[in-house]
Structure formats: structure tokens, C-alpha cells
Amino acid sequence: MLLFYENGFFRAAHACWDSNNIEFLEKELNDYKLTDEFLRRSSKKGTALYNAVDETLKGKEIRLPDNIHFNDKDGNIRKKIRFETLDYYKESDKKVFFGHYWLSGKPSAIRDNIGCLDYSVAYFTVKN
């Protein structure tokens, strides 16, 4: 299992490709392998390693101001929201693919170099 992947043509991450996080993770991983020791260290909340893994797997989030919250599609109370990928991924960057986002409308590339792979797959499976 990989946290992220890159070759000469594209990049892929479960939820977020942040170059700073990826560079950090490359230094922390032993030959890109998820070892028991790496998993133990990455589970300690508040550490740089935890934050890098968390953002790569779940996406960047910000806390909503003044105790504002909303209920998600499943009725869970959410006090944080994810950043939009366009805010920090440059148009000149290599193509990137990610998942973990519930999008609406007809599936399409978000931008010429950004694509969401799962794009509400459960919704489309149930509806079609």
C-alpha cells in the first residue's frame, strides 16, 4: 500500500497532494514502505508526521469560525471543511489524481491537470 505515487507523467494521492507533505513523507518512509514503526509514529496526534499523513489521506481542512457547524450528507456534525484543491495546486504542476471528495454534477476533470477519481461513485452506482 502506498500513501502516494508519482512517475514522469502524473501524481496520485488518496485525498491531497501537497508537495511539502510529500517531501516530508519521502524522508520519513523507508523505501516508501509503511512499516509498523512508521504507523506507530504517524498515529501520534499533533506531530508533523501525523499531520502529513492525515492531510494526504483526508485532505486539508480548516475549522469553521465561531462554533459554526453543518450536518453532512449522513447527518454527522462537521466543524471543519476541506480546502479546495485549486487553492494551492498550480496549473503548471504535473497532472494529479486523487479521491475522497464528494462532488456533484457530471464527472469531469476539475482542471486540465487535476482529476478526482471516485467522484461520488456510490451515488452514481445507486442512481444508475
Q: What is the 3-state secondary structure of 88-105?
A: CCCCCCCEEEECCCCCCC
User: Residue-wise pLDDT tens for the chain (128 aa)?
Assistant: 788 999 999 999 988 999 999 999 999 998 888 999 999 999 999 999 999 999 999 888 889 998 899 998 789 999 988 876 766 788 899 999 888 776 667 777 778 898 887 765 555 455 54
Contacts for 56 with CB less than 8 Å, ≥ 6 apart: 3, 4, 13, 14, 15, 16, 17, 18, 21, 22, 25
